[in-house]
Homo-oligomer: A and B are copies of this chain.
């Protein structure tokens, strides 16, 4: 029994029954081991989920070519697909943002946005808008059968449309809004 086995079994279990259905007992059963054994490797269920989250983020591809908006777009779509595969994971990550922030992805995006011309305030605003949008979409939207007002809508297209609007906003702010670019003037 090893850390890697536990992570793998937990991932398989989440794919089957979601984070909601993942249970320390079920996980132990899946591993063919007593409950206490699992706790010998993982201090807590929460810690296990945090570990899985970090593992997931490492799967996300960070593009290094193309214009800043295309890079941002590609990264967020990839992120959504990676996280969206595991039902309930986005909800968990969203509710535990403090310990779940993808430091590496963040750094990469910050660099791209700074290079594009955003100041610190702009970077923070665009970043939070992007992450919260993707998090929200993954938690509730991408797997939902779609609400009544959205019947017959392709959820994937909807996701990309929203993302495009968000990025268009970033582009527009870069051109016309001093608050988010260059230096702020006093007063």
Binding site for B on A (CB under 8 A): 88, 91, 94-98, 101, 103, 106, 110, 121-122, 124-126, 128-129, 131-137, 139-141, 144-145, 147-150, 153, 158-159, 161-173, 177, 179-180
Ordered nearest first, which 5 A-B pairs have the shortest CB separation?
A169-B169, A132-B136, A125-B161, A129-B162, A136-B136
B168 pairs with A177, CB closer than 8 A: yes
Quick one: closest B residue to A136, CB to CB?
B132
Interface contact A139-B172, CB-CB below 8 Å: no
B97 engages A94 (CB within 8 Å)? no
* Residue from B97, B136, B145, B150 in contact with A124 in the complex, judged by beta carbons closer than 8 Å: B150
**A144 CB, nearest partner CB in chain B, Å:** 5
Copies of this chain held together in the complex = 2
Measured CB to CB, the nearest residue on chain B to A139 is B94
User: Do residues B128 and A141 form an inter-chain contact, with CB atoms below 8 A?
Assistant: yes
In the complex, are the beta carbons of A141 and B97 less than 8 A apart? yes
Nearest Cβ in chain B — how far from A20, in angstroms? 9
**Closest B residue, CB atoms, query A159:** B128
**In the complex, chain B residues whose CB is within 8 Å of the CB of A136:** 94, 131-136, 139
Q: Bound state CA distance, A42 and B64, in angstroms? A: 54
- Give the nearest-CB partner of A145 in chain B: B98
> CB-CB < 8 A to A166: which residues of B?
129, 133, 165-166, 169
